């Protein structure tokens, strides 16, 4: 049953069309889909993209702070959130490795994500970073349309990324990065007469960071603001069809305020707001009475046929529910971090997403330890709704290695 559930998830990942109009009716007067028995309560309309593993928080530090990471102090994992922060790093060279078990609550031991990242400071103004993400879906037993045995496979996905960050002033930096994405969910299998192939895509990231030291009541503080556009790239397909799917292009803005009370105690509060820059699905795409879903009557919803640029620009105003639905598409993260003597950290956070756009809501907690060369971070997720999370009852951990501290120690 566990394998059957995971196989179903894989099939959903590359299904040609996913509509979220379950238990919904079309309000002709208002021109929107609503829940039965209501006139204005919005229907669930979650934004679906391919390769969603690109948006999984890869490290335990941010994973303990409600997935916030755009504006927190830079470390070896900054390339995922906002690579422009790398221009402000103190160390010359650092590496990080993270292991994230996946679906452990279902008893699966071979489904996980591994993440390796780091940076190398070129000079006082420039830094380069890299990242390697690998997502394993374990061993799958494939079956054909009749339920017969179709062999086994090990679906997997990976991303290879690199970025360059540079200070333009003492307080402001920019970055640009590129990545290659590979997704092999069921290569060699068939859905009817359609053969499934690995999907590939390329994307770029852009980021900017501004930080300003501020003296407040005699205490040193540091305010940091960040913005990043990530996964802006080509669409992807698992078949020879010209109908391709969007990857999770994302716009994120963040702020973090660090308070250094004395040489032993430091506290940071941070928040992120994220929005996917992809088209909102048109509810009722299969209903010919729904206006605007398939104007050219070719059987494919118009939102799926938009170009990458058209999808990004239109993502701010294409929701059928208007501006109120666009606001519901925002995802919020809030986190805090306390350091004692720069060696021991306690973290907590909260992540929130509207119930009609995925309904992911959870608390996170975690610890951090730093001793000379090594740093070790842990995080744990606590769901706040009845909706299950793949990270339920799961402990994530990250190991960071600081080469400059190693040289100093030598």
Question: CA-CA distance, 42 to 278, in Å (whole number)?
Answer: 20
Q: Are 280 and 48 in contact (CB under 8 A)?
A: no
* Radius of gyration in angstroms for the set of CA atoms belonging to the chain, rounded to a whole number: 22
Question: CA-CA distance, 110 to 104, in Å (whole number)?
Answer: 9
Question: CA 61, 232, 135 angle in degrees (round to 5)?
Answer: 50
Question: Tokens 């609550």 correspond to what residue?
Answer: 105
Q: Are 328 and 357 in contact (CB under 8 A)?
A: yes
* pLDDT in the model for residue 103: 83
Question: CA-CA distance, 196 to 142, in Å (whole number)?
Answer: 13
Which helix (H) or strand (E) element contains residue 60? helix 60-63
Helix, strand, coil % (nearest 5) of the chain? 15, 45, 40
Question: CA-CA distance, 120 to 131, in Å (whole number)?
Answer: 12
Per-residue pLDDT of the chain (410 residues; tens, 9 = 90+): 344 444 444 443 433 333 333 467 776 666 667 777 776 777 888 898 999 999 999 999 999 999 999 999 999 999 999 999 999 998 899 999 999 998 877 778 889 999 999 999 999 999 999 999 999 998 888 877 777 777 888 999 999 999 999 999 999 999 999 999 999 988 878 777 788 899 999 999 999 999 999 988 878 899 999 999 999 999 999 988 778 899 999 999 999 999 998 889 999 999 999 999 999 988 766 555 566 677 777 778 888 889 999 999 999 998 888 888 899 999 999 999 999 998 999 999 999 999 889 889 999 999 999 987 889 999 999 888 777 778 877 889 999 998 765 555 55
State the sign of the Cα–Cα–Cα–Cα dihedral 104, 94, 133, 154.
negative
CA nearest 238: which of 183, 298, 178? 183
Residues 6+ apart with CB under 8 A from 167: 87, 88, 124, 125, 126, 173
* pLDDT in the model for residue 119: 96
Question: CA-CA distance, 74 to 404, in Å (whole number)?
Answer: 15
User: What residue ranges define each of the domains in the chain, with the CATH number in brackets?
Assistant: 2-279+331-409 (2.40.160.40)
* pLDDT in the model for residue 142: 82
* pLDDT in the model for residue 290: 61
Q: Are 108 and 125 in contact (CB under 8 A)?
A: no
pTM of the model: 0.88
Question: CA-CA distance, 79 to 185, in Å (whole number)?
Answer: 25
Residues 6+ apart with CB under 8 A from 203: 178, 179, 181, 230, 231, 232, 233, 234, 247, 249
């Amino acid at each position: 049953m566990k394998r059957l559930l995971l196989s179903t998830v894989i099939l959903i990942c590359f299904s040609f069309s996913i509509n979220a109009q379950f238990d919904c009716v079309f309000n002709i007067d208002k021109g929107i889909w609503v829940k039965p028995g209501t006139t204005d309560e919005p229907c669930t309309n979650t934004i679906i993209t391919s390769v969603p593993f690109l948006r999984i928080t890869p490290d335990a530090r941010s994973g303990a702070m409600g997935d916030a990471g755009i504006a927190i102090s830079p470390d070896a994992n900054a390339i995922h959130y906002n690579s422009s922060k790398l221009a402000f790093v103190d160390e010359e060279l650092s590496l990080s490795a993270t292991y994230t078990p996946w679906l452990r609550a279902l008893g699966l031991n071979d489904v996980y994500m591994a993440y390796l990242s780091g940076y190398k400071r070129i000079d006082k103004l420039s830094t380069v970073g890299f990242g390697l993400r690998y997502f394993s879906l374990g061993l799958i037993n494939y079956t054909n349309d009749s339920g017969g045995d179709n062999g086994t496979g090990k679906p997997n996905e990976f991303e290879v990324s690199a970025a360059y960050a540079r200070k333009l002033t003492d307080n402001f930096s920019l970055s640009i990065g590129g990545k290659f994405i590979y997704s092999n969910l069921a290569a060699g299998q068939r859905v009817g007469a359609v053969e499934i192939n690995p999907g590939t895509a390329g994307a770029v990231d852009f980021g900017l960071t501004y930080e300003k030291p501020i003296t407040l009541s005699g205490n040193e503080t540091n305010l940091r603001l960040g913005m990043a556009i990530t996964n802006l790239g080509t669409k992807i397909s698992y078949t020879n069809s010209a109908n391709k799917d969007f990857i999770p292009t994302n716009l994120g803005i963040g702020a973090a305020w660090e308070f250094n009370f004395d040489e032993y105690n430091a506290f940071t509060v941070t928040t992120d707001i994220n929005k996917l820059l992809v088209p909102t699905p048109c509810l009722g795409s299969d209903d010919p009475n729904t206006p605007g879903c398939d104007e050219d009557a070719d059987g494919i919803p118009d939102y799926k046929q938009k170009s990458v640029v058209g999808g990004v620009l239109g993502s701010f105003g294409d929701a059928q529910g208007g501006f109120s639905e666009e606001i519901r598409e925002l995802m919020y993260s809030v986190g805090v971090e306390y350091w004692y003597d720069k060696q021991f950290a306690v973290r907590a956070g909260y992540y929130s997403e509207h119930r009609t756009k995925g309904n992911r809501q959870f608390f996170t907690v975690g610890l951090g330890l730093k001793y000379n060369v090594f740093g070790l971070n842990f995080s744990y997720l606590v769901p706040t709704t009845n909706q299950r999370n793949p990270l339920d009852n799961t402990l994530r951990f990250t190991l960071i290695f600081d080469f400059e501290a190693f040289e100093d120690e030598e």
